[in-house]
Amino acid sequence: MRAGFPLLIAALAAGCRPEAVRSPESRHALAGRIIFIGAAPRDTTLLIPEAGEVEAHTLIVDRKTRGVKNAAAWIEGLEASAPRLPSASSPALAPVMDQINYTFVPHVLAVREGEEVRFLSSDAANHNIHAHALEPENQFNIMISSAREHRHRFNRPRRLPAILIGCDLHAWMRAWIYVFNHPWFAITGPDGGFEISGLPPGNYRLGVHHADAGLRREVEVTIPCLDPDGVTIQFTDKDLAEGPAEQ
């Protein structure tokens, strides 16, 4: 019973029952869901003359599940034991941010520090890619067309969780890139669900962030987690007060 009580408290705080302690070498997945209860923005699309109807960059809540998509979830406290990034990865496997119909696709991308990110354009129109960051090594501002691509390796932002990517030619075009110095992260799908795999047993902090809405939370989690639904992080309209995470 040495560590049983604190483990139990940490697990219950995140809505997750602790499982009997497994061997330190075992690896586990943490499932979770980010939901929003309250009045979310109603206008979730924009009508753009060049592009037609595009998704507005705002808090988008699934009506059925109340899930919040495009939020980042990550584990803190394991960075020191993170496996090294493979030095020679195929460009075909590199994370891609494309521009399709005047929209960055995906709207939110999460990568590892030092990993090569490919920026493409599938549009006939010219676009600009402007990375807004506090760190000079994470900044760039280039023109791009379907005839060329741009590659960049980001460092982990020191203060803010995500780097804002914009197109100066089309003000509604924006995206976010999260950069982590470990592999334990995920971006939520349309139902707000996420899964982070490969976690050794232990107590960690789970960070969650929605950049457009400025939602941010940290909770404690215990791995392994017996609950098949994992952790549920709930935000309400009171959490919207802080506004978007502009840089």
DSSP class of residue 134? S
**Residue 117 Cβ vs Cu ion, minimum distance, rounded to whole Å:** 18
In the bound state with Cu ion, the residue whose beta carbon lies nearer, of 121 and 138, is 121
**Residue 169 Cβ vs Cu ion, minimum distance, rounded to whole Å:** 4
Q: Tell me, residue by residue from 108 to 147, as one string, x for binding to Cu ion by CB under 5 A and - for no binding.
A: -------------------x--------------------
Amino acid at 144: I
57 makes contact with Cu ion (CB under 5 A): no
Among 94, 100, 169, 226, binds Cu ion (CB under 5 A): 169
Number of chain residues interacting with Cu ion (CB under 5 A):
5
In the bound state with Cu ion, the residue whose beta carbon lies nearer, of 108 and 173, is 173
In the bound state with Cu ion, the residue whose beta carbon lies nearer, of 20 and 124, is 124
Q: Which of 178, 70, 167, 177 is nearest to 128 (CA)?
A: 167
Residue 31: φ, ψ to 5°:
-95, 155
DSSP class of residue 61? B
> d(Cα 7, Cα 10) in Å, to the nearest integer?
5
> d(Cα 107, Cα 125) in Å, to the nearest integer?
19
CA angle centred on 219, ends 1 and 163, rounded to 5°: 145
In the bound state with Cu ion, the residue whose beta carbon lies nearer, of 140 and 183, is 140
**Residue 123 Cβ vs Cu ion, minimum distance, rounded to whole Å:** 8
Question: Of 18-26, 44-52, 158-166, 173-181, which segment contacts Cu ion by CB under 5 A?
Answer: 173-181
For Cu ion, the nearest residue by Cβ is 167
CB atoms within 10 A of CB 103: 22
**Residue 168 Cβ vs Cu ion, minimum distance, rounded to whole Å:** 8
Q: Which of 15, 14, 36 is nearest to 214 (CA)?
A: 36
Among 57, 170, 182, 209, binds Cu ion (CB under 5 A): 170
In the bound state with Cu ion, the residue whose beta carbon lies nearer, of 166 and 193, is 166
In the bound state with Cu ion, the residue whose beta carbon lies nearer, of 175 and 208, is 175
**Residue 3 Cβ vs Cu ion, minimum distance, rounded to whole Å:** 53
What CA dihedral angle connects 100, 104, 107 and 111, to 10 degrees?
Answer: 110
Q: Which of 126, 45, 115, 121 is nearest to 86 (CA)?
A: 115
**Residue 187 Cβ vs Cu ion, minimum distance, rounded to whole Å:** 22
Among 164, 167, 175, 231, binds Cu ion (CB under 5 A): 167
* Spatial strand order in the sheet of 108-112: 108-112, 174-180, 162-166, 127-132, 140-144
Tokens coding 33: 């869901």
DSSP class of residue 63? T
**Residue 167 Cβ vs Cu ion, minimum distance, rounded to whole Å:** 3
**Which residues of the shown chain bind Cu ion in the complex (CB under 5 A)?**
127, 167, 169-170, 173
